[in-house]
Amino acid sequence: MSHQEPPVYRAAYDLTIAVCRYVKDCQEQYKGTIGLLMQSETMAMELALYHINDEGDKLKNIQTALDSCYAIRLAARLLLDLGVMKLETSISLNMKIEEVARQLCGWKRSLAGGVL
């Protein structure tokens, strides 16, 4: 990661690593279902972030990344409610999700001229 990249790139990568580590150790019956969904959404989020500066519609890509954050949060909540994920893990992941979402919302507001 370059020092010139927005901090959201580092926060998103930290979230991606945390999700992949969790899924790696997840119960087998959830690893290929909800765990796979979480990993897929983290990859979709990462790809949307990298497309923000490559394509013309920055707001669309920011929203795509935000949607992935929300899907990851929903999956983590489901795993917590099913008793698969420990509360400490849920809190840690949600803090990372919140950091990414906060930065994306700020970026989105900035691009929209503060009218969102």
Closest by CA to 62, choosing from 15, 6, 20, is 6
CA angle 65, 87, 26 (to 5 degrees): 70
Q: What is the pTM of this model?
A: 0.88
Which tokens sit at 82?
Answer: 């099913």
Digit-coded pLDDT (tens) for 47-91: 999 898 786 789 999 999 999 999 999 999 999 999 999 999 999
Domains of the chain: 7-108 (1.20.1440.60)
For 26-36, what is each residue's pLDDT tens digit?
Answer: 999 999 999 99
CA distances 25 to 32, 58, 84, 99, 111, Å, are: 12, 35, 11, 24, 39
Task: Please count the other Cβ atoms lying within 10 Å of the Cβ belonging to residue 110.
Answer: 11
User: What is the pLDDT, as a whole number, of residue 4?
Assistant: 67
pLDDT-based confidence at residue 113 (cuts at 50, 70, 90): confident
